[in-house]
Amino acid sequence: MKTYFRLLSFAKPIGKYAVPYMICTIITVVFGTLNLALLAPLLQVLFKGTGNADANTVNSPVRPEGYDMGDWFMYFADKLYYDIGPYEALKYVCIVIVTSVFISNLFRYLSQRVMENLRIHTLLNLRKAVFNNVMDLHVGFFTNSRKGDVMSKIASDVQVVQFSVTSTLQVAFKEPLQLIAYIVVLFSFSAKLTLFSLAVIPVSAFLISLIVKKLREQARAAQQTYANMISYLDEALSGVKIIKAFNAIPFVKNRFNGESERYSKILRRMVRRQQMSSPVSELLGVVMVAIILLYGGNLVLAGQGELSASEFIAYIGIFSQVMRPAKALTESFSNIHNGIAAGERVLELIDETNAVIDKPDAKPVHSFNRGIAFKDVDFAYGEKQILRHINIEIPKGKMVALVGPSGGGKSTLVDLIPRFMDVTGGAILVDDVDVRDLQQESLRTLIGTVNQETVLFNDTIFNNIAFAQPNATQQEVEHAARIANAHDFILKTEDGYETNIGDRGAKLSGGQRQRICIARAVLRNPPIMLLDEATSALDTESEKLVQDSLYKLMENRTTVVIAHRLSTIQNADNIVVIENGRVVEQGNHHDLIAKEGLYKRLIDMQQFID
């Protein structure tokens, strides 16, 4: 239950919803129960009018003593019958019943409205908490996680929590209250018959609880399988060209369909258990009513019971409803199993602690005047050491290039500057201040990024360039596009800057996508630029256009470049050669060539390939 109560904490402030819900529910229960109890006076009037009144009925009703509800109902029915006549009495009873039904349904509607608001409020708080924490996690988390699994937790699992846990909260108050109301009324009619009747209810609850016993385990398996399906779907849609190129369609189909079949089997088993509870409880309810009919009916027919015929019929009508809240309470355990299983997966994301968090006394950055320095920097993913004792100076306005074999740690080193991750040893300084002492948002306003993988959105060209700059004018966007050598091709598109570029920029070529990303960086006009192999995936013609754009972008900026084609960084102020997480060489192009070390071998290798 610890998980359940923690999930409920996302409903705060719960009092805002709980108090009006409780008031509306109490009124609903009182009048809903009264609707059934009013069957007794209605039948009493009808029986008298047809001459089928009970033999012990006297012509002058006697005011009852005590609090027996049945006696009072009979008294008022008889009084109306003799005071105003049978038809008028019937009208009064019908008006009372209609009024009672109207009140009960009105407040039932209001209680449902309040609960729906609580459900939506809880969903909003929970989804915001999950998404906010995910967005705060450092980049390494996403390297080790399936995107589809994260998506299913935020979308599907949160939805399950919304409906199951908050619905259980609703059932936990209304159904016990309704059950108590029914039992109180039944006792007021006949304590002896009610005690006999209630003896069999625990048997029904026990049988239904056996049915839903394994639902939590099945629910968690279903949610994990669904997450795998979403992951496979995302990978299939993202890599559809590669899949077709390698004739891997059968493999992808089999993998997705196999997971889909596993998901369907689990769902069938879950639904079989869930749906079994309804017919079982209904059958048990009918059996119980039949037993009471035999037992109580025999007492009435023999004239030995506490009830008249009209009271007994009303009693049966009320008792037939007792199983409904009892069934709802039992089935709520099925819902809570699903909700807790989904909630545990959702809370895993909320509890993920490898976020990059600002210190309480973190300072904003107002300017950039001196440069960046790596001081004995180490970094590790868990026990896997990625960087070891990195020392690099990057003066303001200078260009530093990072080169070396793949997997050496170059991208990780660049990701540490904007605090996508924090160092595990040493420090990175911006203007002699540790970046961990600076506010992330403020630090990142100094930095522009262009990566090998273009990140574009299914939106217009204008909105993609003006991303995160909502106040940018048309003139500013066009100026940025001209610097990025993108303005001419943009004008040739169907709607110019208002052209939608499709999912991830699918309507544009690789070079065009990259130039849109460069224009976005130019528009931001940051003093620091981070370029991660921005031209490695382009053809020669596109590379020339993009490289020209990058040269314009780097003018008068402090730039860190991860170089794929070494010919593009020979004019860098400092070239840092990284291998296996360590700096093995530093210097300008000519100095490194003269050393005849790793850099010289990389140059010779690339010239041979070219």
Question: What radius of gyration, in Å, describes the C-alpha atoms of the chain?
Answer: 37
Tokens found for residue 136 = 């705060």
Owner of token pair 């590669």: 242
Q: Where are the alpha helices (DSSP H) in 50-144?
A: 69-84, 86-136, 139-143
Query: What pLDDT score does 358 carry?
Result: 84
Ordered domains of the chain (ranges, CATH):
2-14+119-351 (1.20.1560.10), 371-609 (3.40.50.300)
User: On the CB side of 303, how many CA atoms lie within 13 Å of its CA?
Assistant: 3
φ, ψ at 381 (rounded to 5°): -95, 100
The CA-atom distances, in angstroms, between 41 and each of 314, 405, 522 are 9, 92, 83
Owner of token pair 């689990």: 266
* Chain segment 456-487, per-residue pLDDT in tens: 888 899 999 988 787 889 999 998 898 888 89
> What integer is the mean pLDDT of 207-227?
68
What is the distance in angstroms between the CA of the first residue and the CA of the last residue of the chain?
65
Q: Are 519 and 483 in contact (CB under 8 A)?
A: yes
381 forms beta bridges with: 384
For residue 363, give every residue at least 6 positions away whose Cβ sits within 8 Å of its Cβ, in sequence order, or none.
Answer: 433, 437, 438, 439, 442
> What integer is the mean pLDDT of 486-512?
88
For residue 556, give every residue at least 6 positions away whose Cβ sits within 8 Å of its Cβ, in sequence order, or none.
Answer: 397
Peptide bond into 418 cis (omega under 30): no
Give the integer Cα–Cα distance in Å for 228 and 153: 11
pTM score: 0.65
The CA-atom distances, in angstroms, between 421 and each of 355, 412, 435 are 8, 8, 11
* Chain segment 309-367, per-residue pLDDT in tens: 777 777 777 777 776 776 666 666 656 666 777 777 788 778 877 777 888 888 998 88
Assign 373 to helix, strand or coil: strand
Assign 592 to helix, strand or coil: helix
| Neighbour-count burial of 48, counting CB atoms closer than 10 A to its CB (0-12 exposed, 13-18 middle, 19+ buried) | buried
Owner of token pair 């091709």: 489
* Chain segment 8-43, per-residue pLDDT in tens: 777 788 778 888 988 998 998 888 887 777 766 666
Owner of token pair 């409020």: 121
CA angle, 84 then 88 then 93, to 5°:
110
Query: What pLDDT score does 375 carry?
Result: 95
- The amino acid sitting at 85 is G
Which runs of E-coded beta strand occur in 398-538?
399-403, 425-430, 433-434, 447-451, 528-532
* Chain segment 295-320, per-residue pLDDT in tens: 777 767 766 556 677 777 777 777 77
> What integer is the mean pLDDT of 369-379?
93
Confidence category of residue 241, pLDDT binned at 50, 70, 90: low
φ, ψ at 464 (rounded to 5°): -70, -40
Minimum mean pLDDT range among 25-29, 285-289, 424-428, 573-577: 285-289
